[in-house]
Each structure stands twice: as C-alpha cells, then as structure tokens.
Amino acid sequence: MELSASVSIQRTESGLEYLNVDGPRCSAKIFLQGAQLTEFTPVGKGNVIWVSEDEDYLEGKAVRGGIPICWPWFGVHSDPDWPIHGVARKLMWRAEEVHESDEAIVIKLSLPMTLVDETYWPHKSKLEVEFHLTEQLKVSLTNTNLGDAAFTLTQALHTYFPTPNIEATTVDGLQGSKFIEFGEGPFDQNEVVGFARETDMVYTQAAPVQIIRTPDGNIEVGRENSTSCVLWNPWIEKSKRLSNFRDDEYKTMLCLEAANVMDDAAVVEPGQSHTLTTTLRWV
C-alpha cells in the first residue's frame, strides 16, 4: 500500500499503529486495530470526535471513543458469553488503499477473515471500511457475501461526539421515529431529545439526518442504508463502572450511532453487498 503526501503511519506510546492524516482540509487518526477513527478535525474547526482522556490504547482492547465498528452483531448477543458488540473492534485490520486528490483523501481498510473465529461468523464474506475525508467525514462499512446462502447481521458505527455540556445539548431530527429504551417500548419520539439521565435509546424508522446542538456548535449526522440508530450517554452511575472512562466524562460526550439493528438488520444475498454509511460535519 502506498501512502499519500498527507498520510503517514505512526504509533502510540503503547505501540498501536495508526494512520495519521494531516491534509489541506482536515486532520485525522485511524487505528489499524478495529479500523477505529479517533480524530476528525476540519481545518479551522474543532475535532468532531470524542475520546476519553483515560484511554490507554492497548492491544486487544477497544478504544473508549472515536468510531468503534460493532460487527457482526450490536450490543449483547443472545449467547451472553460472546463478546459485546461483536469482534471487529479488537482485531487488526489491513490498510488497503490511500488515495489523495484535490477533492479528498480516501482510505480503505479490510478485515482479514482469517482472524475471525468461525464460531462467531461461519459465513464466507468480505468486510471493508472506507473513510472519505474532506471538510466532512464519510464512513462506509461494506459487507460482501462471497458464499452461496444469504446471511443476516446487525452492526453499528458507534460514533462518540463531544460537547462542553451534556445538559445544554439536544438532538434534533428524531421526531417521528420510535424507540426502545432499557428493553421497553416501542415509544413514539415526539420531541427534540435532551439529556437529564442515563440515555440508551434504540431508534427505528428514523429520518436520515439528525442535528446535535451543543454550546460549541451544531453537528450534522447523516446515515445511508440505515433506518435505525442508537443514542447513548451513560450518565452518573454507569460512568463509574465503565473502563477507560472518567467518572465525570458523561458531561462531555454522547453517542449517536448509525446502525442496522432490530427490524433494520442487514440481509445480504449471495454475491451482493450492503454498505452502511454515516456522514459527519459541523454546520
């Protein structure tokens, strides 16, 4: 793989490799472990991505923040002994392509399927993620079915966003959708969503664009091939139980995740592909 003028390979103090992007339109960091983006900063603006100040970037451990890739299931599996949010977050992806033009920097990574335990994923498939970096970030996760039978999966691009004050933050654009919270529902979402307690809502029938309104500015979050999304903030008590997460960091973050969950699970027929996309930008 050839790197471009704006992309280099660097390592954290703990030894994890990442692609460092220092381009004319933005800067970014994408770790090979988990294909996890942990920074996207358009020129002249703030980082649109949040990472815990307690993150230690250890091998075999998902980063607390950024955009973890939850695959091939989201949340807790029906077998509770299986890892939460699947296996892709902790495996080492391969950098396949880096292209730089006047318009964008495009980086593509793939997950070597030889690393995936067949107990968890017995299907013949290919999994790739593409990062399209300009003044906005576009992340596309593509599943391709290389076998002779259809398979079904749930997945999410588990994006962490920053805010200086969660209690002064709202999410607009979920009105008209339905949600399940803590296993109960579905309920109708009629209002703009605010934060005053632990939030763990799984939305279906959601519009393709939401706006996160924070005291530092508004973030537009779009989705393609997805009518489901997840809104999460651990609040006070759960924050104390989370690894690599300071007790008070719930005040400075939220997750709004493009997903294929519940009735929106992805079904991929033989020889076909499914691409889940999220697009993020300051507005």
193 and 203 Cβ atoms separated by less than 8 Å: no
Annotated active-site residue 257? The verdict is: yes
User: How far apart are the C-alpha atoms of 92 and 112, rounded to whole Å?
Assistant: 8
- For residues 208, 214, 219 and 221, what is the CA-based torsion angle, rounded to 10 degrees? -30
Annotated active-site residue 269? The verdict is: no
Output b/e per residue, 28-47; b: 16+ Cβ within 10 A: bbbbbbbbbbbbbbbeeeeb
Given 130, 257, 269, 274, which residue is catalytic?
A: 257
280 and 210 Cβ atoms separated by less than 8 Å: no
Instruction: State the residue for tokens 């300071």.
Output: 246
Classify 9 in phi/psi space as left (phi over 0), alpha (psi -120 to 50) or beta: beta
3-state DSSP: the chain helix, strand, coil percent, rounded to 5?
A: 5, 45, 45
User: How far apart are the C-alpha atoms of 95 and 151, rounded to whole Å?
Assistant: 26
Given 85, 123, 132, 158, which residue is catalytic?
A: 158
Residue 8: CB atoms within 10 A of its CB come to: 12
Residues acting as catalytic residues: 158, 257
